[in-house]
Amino acid sequence: MNAPDEIIRREIAERGVLSFARFMELALYCPNSGYYEMKKDSPGRRGDFYTSVSAGELFGQLLAFQFAGWLGEVNSLNLQPLGAAKRSEDGATLNLIEAGAHDGQLARDILTWLQSARPKLFGQIEYCIVEPSARRREWQNETLKNFAPRVHWFADLENMSRVTRHSSLCGIIFSNELLDAMPVHRFGWDAAKKLWFEWGVALEGEKFVWAKIQTPDAKPRTPDPALGDVLPDGYTIETCPAAENWWREAATILERGKLMAIDYGLINDELFSPGRMRGTLRAYFRHHATDDLLANVGEQDLTAHVNFSAIQSVGEACGLKTEAFSTQVQFLTKIVEKIFKNPELFGEWGAKQTRQFQTLTHPEHLGRAFRVLTQSR
Ligand SMILES: C[S@@+](CC[C@H](N)C(=O)[O-])C[C@H]1O[C@@H](n2cnc3c(N)ncnc32)[C@H](O)[C@@H]1O
């Protein structure tokens, strides 16, 4: 088994300065030894970061309540909802597709709620998990063993289309903290030359160090060309073609339904702001943000804010309609307003649910930094 830092060293020796995106890809996803292969407990109190799922089962239950409503809409369009075992002639299916399911906890919270609160719908849906890591698929399988016949796993969206022999799908494709875990390119602004250069990774002795790639393959788009006159030297920004490509692929296979991402992220105007001189790329090691992005390779999480303007444009270019873009507080509060109007449709709401809701919506915690983009076809 090769540790990610060994592979990175070898690639630098063979090719020279490596893009940060490649460094991040290997550090996080190197088969059997990358961060996401080794850290089963990463989200949650014991790990390096805390997600909405670690706040308790309410997050999954609220999503399930919302999904049940959306799936009802798709259903009423005369598309036959069918499970894997019985597909219609024209190949239409009704699916709940979660991408990047970590240890399967969110899927378990969603399916548990649907099973008890919407048994009829539960009997109709097919839950698909798109997860590239074979090891993670095993963990998810273990968590979801009680739902075995309802859940299907795919390594990527293309594999899902191929295996199910459906080039298009009806239902909901969603993710929580997927796009922020995709490899980013890192750029710096050269104010004298009025040019972006890319930050890559080189070796100095045994240590990984930052090195400039003067002629990057792709550069960031500055939303307003006049910004080039005022951007300070060294202004740093990330781009994530992997996230944009993923969204494009998901949008393309979605025949009818919703595509939704929950993630911490920003829009263009917020990305270019004096307070973000150093960009949004962060490393988390044992629950603490660390400055050294190139240290602890494979041991620390690397993540950057999602550029939601870019993601939204990609979806719209694929013909999707943007239904809503809001903070997690706004998104979850709307769901809870619906629940409070018809409490019998949700189930128990007591002190525990209120506590979890406060954690999920606290502006200084998960509430404001997290955004929700929903697009539809
Ligand atoms: C930060 S974790 C997600 C956290 C989890 N959704 C939750 O709510 O607790 C990122 C997940 O995305 C997966 N992943 C990475 N790239 C992916 C891709 N291209 N498609 C689907 N999943 C991916 C990782 O293996 C990991 O399971």
Distance of alpha carbon 140 from alpha carbon 108, whole angstroms: 9
The reported pLDDT for the residue numbered 113 is 97
Tell me the CA–centroid distance for residue 157 and ligand 1, in Å. 13
Q: What number is the average pLDDT over the span 141-151?
A: 94
51, 61, 96, 102, best to mutate for ligand 1 pocket (most atoms within 8 Å of CB): 102
For ligand 1, say whether the CB of 246 is within 6 Å of any of its atoms: yes
Please name which of 164, 161, 102, 109 lies closest in space to residue 133, comparing C-alpha atoms. Answer: 102
* Predicted pLDDT at 79: 45
User: Atom 22 of ligand 1 has which residue's CA nearest to it?
Assistant: 100
Please tell me if the CB atom of residue 128 comes closer than 6 angstroms to any atom of ligand 1.
no
Q: Is any ligand 1 atom within 6 A of the Cβ of residue 179?
A: no
pLDDT digits (tens, 9 = 90+) for 62-92: 999 999 999 987 666 544 433 333 343 343 4
Whole-model pTM? Answer: 0.92
Residue 292: Cβ-neighbour burial (10 angstroms; 0-12, 13-18, 19+): exposed
Mean pLDDT across 26-43:
80
pLDDT tens per residue, range 169-213: 889 999 999 999 999 999 999 999 998 999 999 999 999 999 999
Q: How far apart are the CA of 211 and the centre of ligand 1, in A?
A: 29
Residues 6 or more apart whose Cβ sits within 8 Å of residue 312: 322, 325, 373, 375
Q: 309 CA distance to ligand 1 centroid (A)? A: 21
Q: What is the pLDDT of residue 45?
A: 41
More confident residue, 294 or 75: 294
**Separation CA 369–CA 377 (nearest Å):** 27
Q: Is 103 in the pocket of ligand 1 (CB under 6 A)?
A: no
pLDDT of residue 84: 39
Q: How far is the CA of 328 from the centre of ligand 1 (A)?
A: 19
Q: How far apart are CA 293 and CA 183, in angstroms?
A: 13
Section 153-160 average pLDDT: 92
> Is residue 243 a contact partner of residue 21, using CB atoms and an 8 Å limit?
no
**Angle between the N-to-C axes of helices 351-361 and 328-341, in degrees from 0 to 180, rounded to the nearest 10:** 150
Instruction: Give the pLDDT score at 89.
Output: 38
99 lines ligand 1 (CB under 6 A): yes
Judge whether residue 226 has pLDDT over 90. Answer: no
Torsions phi, psi of 366, nearest 5? -95, -15
Instruction: Note the pLDDT tens digit of each residue in 277-290.
Output: 999 999 998 878 88
Looking at residue 290, its pLDDT comes to 87
Return the percentage of the chain with pLDDT > 70, whole number: 90
SS (H, E, C) the chain: CCCHHHHHHHHHHHHCCEEHHHHHHHHHHCCCCCHHHHCCCCECCCCCECCCHHHCCHHHHHHHHHHHHHHHHHHCCCCCCCCCCCCCCCCCCEEEEEECCCCCHHHHHHHHHHHHHCHHHHHHCEEEEECCCHHHHHHHHHHCHHHHHHEEEECCHHHHHHHHCCCCEEEEEEEECCHHHCCCEEEEEECCCCEEEEEEEEEECCEEEEEEECCCCCCCCCCCHHHHHCCCCCCEEEECHHHHHHHHHHHHHEEEEEEEEEEEEECHHHHCCHHHCCCCCEEEECCEEECCCCCCCCCCEEECCEEHHHHHHHHHHCCCEEEEEEEHHHHHHHHHHHHHHCHHHCCCCCHHHHHHHHHHHCHHHHHCCEEEEEEEC
Least confident of 162-171, 208-217, 254-263, 312-321: 162-171
Q: Is 137 in the pocket of ligand 1 (CB under 6 A)?
A: no
Residue 147: pLDDT band (50, 70, 90) is very high
- Choose between 377 and 45: higher pLDDT: 377
Quote the pLDDT of residue 339: 95
Check pLDDT > 60 for residue 44.
no
pLDDT at residue 269 in the model: 87
Q: How far away, in angstroms, is 175 Cα from ligand 1 center?
A: 8
pLDDT at residue 86, rounded to an integer: 39
Mean pLDDT, residues 42-47 taken together: 51
Nearest CA to ligand 1 atom 12: 100
Stretch 305-319: mean pLDDT: 97
Residue 85 has a pLDDT of 34
pLDDT computed for residue 198 by the predictor:
95
pLDDT at 93 over 60: no
Task: Give mean pLDDT, residues 286-305.
Answer: 91
